[in-house]
């Protein structure tokens, strides 16, 4: 499939198909006008955001830019499988912990962007510890999303706490992203551990499983709530705000037990073929200019982390949120993630397989 349209600088958007059946979008300038090489991205944010950001970078730097969009867990698996012959240069987006797992496995290139100095001071320590391979580009707080129309029809009170989701009236109404392939699902798991302690968190998840309608393959399955395919979702608040702004009967609640969150990341893949353009891209997505593209152009409401960037007006200011103290380095360990996910499979998921 080929899609072409003209922009001010004669942009051309071409949709290709990857050998793995994933959507691969190639962005190039036509005519080429001394294009400064190429760049291939593995992208774990919303597809439209991948497209808009890649296009903006391509336009600004005259670089032929392509991307493949997959969930965070899927991209991590690809990077591991392609270690000896990397097929991409940059991993853009997705939750922070899997990026740290890629770091621990020796899969990331060392690069500390000078634009890290513009990132929110709350994350200065984390940036000092891990910013040599991974940079923080957005913030997303966890919430409980719900179709308020569907709940009203069923005469079910809107859940305000994680504990509410164990009530029998929610049986078959809840969706939860699978932590084996979804960074969002892993963030929920680690948040519950921070709130309850590990044993109580797994006991909670085992009980919650009784009410789960489906384990989704991505944390970006909010459309199921909008359409009524599911009544309740655990995910990120910005997705619920976006759906509500579109007119869907969707609202989100910040859980009463505490606010978990994740940080979105960007990393350069080790031994990629286009290192200098990869560095340019990391600098670009750390900038206020690029971080505002998410909500201004791509209908994606993540909170920017650049102190000069403006957030979507319907979102909370990060400084006003009472966020949990998440140990990203601990939970970002490949060994710890493997252990927790295996425990989740053994104690929760295997009951349905």
> Which CATH number covers residue 99?
3.40.190.10
Same domain? 227 vs 158: yes
Same domain? 126 vs 236: no
Whether residue 217 is contained in a domain is answered as yes
What's the number of domains the chain is made of? 2
What is the per-residue pLDDT for 217? 83
Residue 351 banded pLDDT, cuts 50, 70, 90: low
Domain that holds residue 300: 11-139+262-315
Same domain? 248 vs 274: no
The CA radius of gyration of the chain, in Å to the nearest whole number, is 20
Same domain? 228 vs 307: no
Same domain? 254 vs 190: yes
pTM, entire model = 0.74
Q: What is the pLDDT of residues 114-134, one digit of tens each?
A: 999 999 888 999 999 999 999
Whether residue 327 is contained in a domain is answered as no
Q: What is the pLDDT of residues 199-255, one digit of tens each?
A: 999 999 999 999 999 999 866 678 899 999 999 999 999 889 989 999 999 999 999
- pLDDT > 80? residue 9: no
- pLDDT > 80? residue 33: no
- pLDDT > 50? residue 18: no
Q: What is the pLDDT of residues 141-168, one digit of tens each?
A: 999 999 999 999 999 999 999 999 999 9
**In angstroms, rounded to a whole number, what is the distance separating the alpha carbons of residues 191 and 95?**
13
Same domain? 232 vs 344: yes
Phi, psi for 116 (deg, rounded to 5): -60, -25
Whether residue 97 is contained in a domain is answered as yes
């Amino acid at each position: 499939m080929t899609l072409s349209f003209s922009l001010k600088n004669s942009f051309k958007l071409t949709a290709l198909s990857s050998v793995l059946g994933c959507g691969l979008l190639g962005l190039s300038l036509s005519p080429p006008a001394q294009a400064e090489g190429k760049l291939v991205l593995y992208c774990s944010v919303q597809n439209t955001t991948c497209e808009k950001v890649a296009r903006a970078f391509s336009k600004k730097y005259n670089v032929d830019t392509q991307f493949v969009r997959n969930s965070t867990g899927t991209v991590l698996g690809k990077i591991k499988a392609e270690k000896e012959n990397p097929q991409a240069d940059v991993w853009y987006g997705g939750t922070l912990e899997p990026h740290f797992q890629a770091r621990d496995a020796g899969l990331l290139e060392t690069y500390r962007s000078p634009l890290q100095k513009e990132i929110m001071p709350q994350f200065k320590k984390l940036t000092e510890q891990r910013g040599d391979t991974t940079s923080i580009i957005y913030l997303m707080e966890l919430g409980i999303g719900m179709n308020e129309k569907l709940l009203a029809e069923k005469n079910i009170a809107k859940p305000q706490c994680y504990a509410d989701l164990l009530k029998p009236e929610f049986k078959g109404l809840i969706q939860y992203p699978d932590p084996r392939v979804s960074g969002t699902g892993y963030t929920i798991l680690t948040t519950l551990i921070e709130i309850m302690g590990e044993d109580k968190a797994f006991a909670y998840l085992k009980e919650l499983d009784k009410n789960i309608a489906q384990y989704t393959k991505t944390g970006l399955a909010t459309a199921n709530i909008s359409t009524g395919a599911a009544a309740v979702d655990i995910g990120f608040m910005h997705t619920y705000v976006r759906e509500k702004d579109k007119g869907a009967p969707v609202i989100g609640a910040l859980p009463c037990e505490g606010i978990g969150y994740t940080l979105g990341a960007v990393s350069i893949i080790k031994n990629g073929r286009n290192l200098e353009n990869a560095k340019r891209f990391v600098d670009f997505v750390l900038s206020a200019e690029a971080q505002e593209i998410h909500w201004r152009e791509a209908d994606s409401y993540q909170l920017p982390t650049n102190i000069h960037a403006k957030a979507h007006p319907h979102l909370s200011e990060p400084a006003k949120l009472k966020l949990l103290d998440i140990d990203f380095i601990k939970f970002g360990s490949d060994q710890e993630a493997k252990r927790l996910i295996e425990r989740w499979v053994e104690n929760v998921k295997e009951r349905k397989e």
